[in-house]
Structure 1
Amino acid sequence: MSSVLASGLLCGLWAFIAPFIGLLTWAGFAGCTTFFAIGNSGVTGLVKAMLCNITGFGCGLLIIWLSNIIAIPQSAAIFSGIVTSLMCLIGKLKMINYVPGIFIGCFSTFAANGNWLVLLFSLLSGVVLGYLCSQLAKEFSNWHVKRTEKRHNLT
């Protein structure tokens, strides 16, 4: 229950604040998703999610760049296939071995319509959002345990 409350509170706050500070709400949720999907709610998960999203972001830019400079029919499809294979291979590296997180960074790059710097900050802010949700959930849980123990000690 504490994770539900923490996530609802912080994600609602993110959805309210992100547009005011010029960030992409949806991309923040994509970064947050990467953090939670990795399954490690600590700093290691935070770093891994960021590295996966950054790697995917770079792969998306690579596909776009190659497609623009090498003018052949279906270049976007060809380079998407080649770079997808690359993403799967580099996903074998320990600190970026969550391939879906790499894909999230990549497909988000296509969806950003050239607003790449804002996208990168939004993705990384979303990863931090996920981390903060998990930390706040722990705090809520600790508070509840202490409150319950105090109530039992009074009876």
Structure 2
Amino acid sequence: MNRLFPLALTTGLLSALWGWAAVSFGLPGWAGFLGCTAWFACPKPGLPGFFTTLCTLLSGVAWAQVIIQGGALVPHAELFGYAMTGIVAFLMCMQARHMLLSFVPGTFIGACATFAAQGEWKSVAPALLLGLLFGFAMKSSGNWLAARLAAKSTQAV
């Protein structure tokens, strides 16, 4: 058996659990799935990858707030908002020089989630964090189960 089935199984089970948890805690479920997706997309494994993903997701939330709040400083000035978006997007990429902020897609995922929630960072940030934890659990438990099944099939042979 390949690793895909155990990973799909644990991902399916924990996705259902996340759906319940999101509703129970009043969090946007879709934002949690973005946190989970960021973990699966991060090229760094283990705890270093987890902390890099966490830092980039939360920095994206912060950068989105900079754009939202900064754009509100000059009402009815669309050009200012566009320029500010461009400058902040540049900075979001440049922060990747720092190890814990080096996963640029995570930064953009965090920002996009905040924009999608119309700036409601107080619900988006915890949903991203819990989604990241669920993603970590999905991948870790899937790999663990795959290794157990592989060891069992090797012993049977």
**Structure 1 stretches (4+) deviating beyond 6 angstroms?**
none
Which among 44, 47, 60 is matched to residue 48 of structure 2?
44
- Check the 8 A contact 1:35/1:41 in 2, yes or no: no
The residue type paired with residue 83 of structure 1 is V
1:77-120 deviation line (CA, Å, top 9, x unaligned): 22111101111111222211111110011111111124211110
Does residue 86 of structure 2 align to residue 56 of structure 1?
no
Which among 77, 81, 100 is matched to residue 82 of structure 2?
77
Instruction: Give the deviation of 1:11 after TM superposition.
Output: 1.2
Q: Counterparts of 1:50 and 1:149 in 2: how far apart (Å)?
A: 37
Residue of structure 2 equivalent to 1:28: 32
Q: Counterparts of 1:71 and 1:46 in 2: how far apart (Å)?
A: 39
Deviates more, 1:142-151 or 1:61-70: 142-151
1:99-155 deviation line (CA, Å, top 9, x unaligned): 111001111111112421111000111111111011111221132123223423xxx
- Check the 8 A contact 1:63/1:83 in 2, yes or no: yes
Does residue 151 of structure 2 align to residue 151 of structure 1?
no
Residue of structure 2 equivalent to 1:136: 141
Residue of structure 2 equivalent to 1:67: 71
- Check the 8 A contact 1:41/1:131 in 2, yes or no: no
The residue type paired with residue 105 of structure 2 is P
Residue of structure 2 equivalent to 1:18: 22
Q: Counterparts of 1:59 and 1:6 in 2: how far apart (Å)?
A: 33
Instruction: Give the deviation of 1:23 after TM superposition.
Output: 1.2
| Aligned-pair Cα RMSD in Å | 1.5
Q: Counterparts of 1:110 and 1:55 in 2: how far apart (Å)?
A: 13
The residue type paired with residue 10 of structure 2 is A
Question: Normalized against structure 1, the TM-score is what?
Answer: 0.90
Aligned length: 152
